[in-house]
């Protein structure tokens, strides 16, 4: 199953809100755009990288498995952790078929015949 970009943003916003985290519309859009490019079955994890320029020496990236492709970057570890946890929860719900009834059709619209 593939999750539509707008539905992914909506569901991520809800799951992040449950964790007390909030992303900007731009951050949610970027994450939803990058998500399809990061295929796989492994869990999402947060990795710490050293920045070459700019404020702060660290950047936290949400990645899957051994991939270098990230879906989200932040100078704040807590925000990156929240995104990783939300993506893991979203995919766990998708695999188990446990999706809130109000979001089921929005997340996974039935194929038109």
- Give per-residue pLDDT as tens, 47-98: 999 877 666 688 999 999 888 889 999 999 999 999 999 999 999 888 887 7
| pLDDT the model gives residue 112 | 46
How large a percentage of the chain has pLDDT more than 90? 48
Instruction: Work out the mean pLDDT of the chain and round it to a whole number.
Output: 82
| pLDDT the model gives residue 109 | 52
Residue 86 within a domain: yes
Residue 113 within a domain: no
Which residue(s) pair with 49 in the sheet? 59
Distances (CA, A) of 73 to 82, 95, 105: 12, 26, 29
Between residues 46 and 52, the one the model is more confident about: 46
Residue 40 within a domain: yes
| pLDDT the model gives residue 110 | 53
- Distance (Å, whole) CA 50 – CA 63: 15
Which residues, at least 6 apart from 32, have a Cβ–Cβ distance to it below 8 Å?
5, 6, 8, 9, 12
Q: Is residue 43 over pLDDT 90?
A: yes
| pLDDT the model gives residue 27 | 94
Residue 16 within a domain: yes
pTM, full prediction: 0.78
Name the domain count of the chain: 1
Domain assignment of residue 83, given as a range: 5-107
Residue 81 within a domain: yes
Residue 112 within a domain: no
């Amino acid at each position: 199953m593939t999750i539509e970009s707008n539905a992914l943003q909506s569901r991520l916003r809800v799951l992040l809100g449950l964790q007390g985290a909030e992303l900007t519309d731009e951050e949610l859009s970027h994450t939803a755009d990058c998500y399809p490019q990061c295929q796989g079955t492994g869990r999402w994890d947060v990795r710490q990288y050293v920045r070459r320029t700019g404020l702060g020496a660290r950047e936290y990236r949400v990645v899957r498995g051994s991939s270098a492709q990230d879906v989200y970057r932040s100078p704040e570890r807590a925000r990156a952790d929240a995104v990783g946890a939300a993506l893991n929860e979203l995919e766990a719900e998708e695999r188990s078929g446990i999706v809130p009834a109000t979001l089921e059709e929005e997340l996974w619209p039935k194929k038109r015949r």
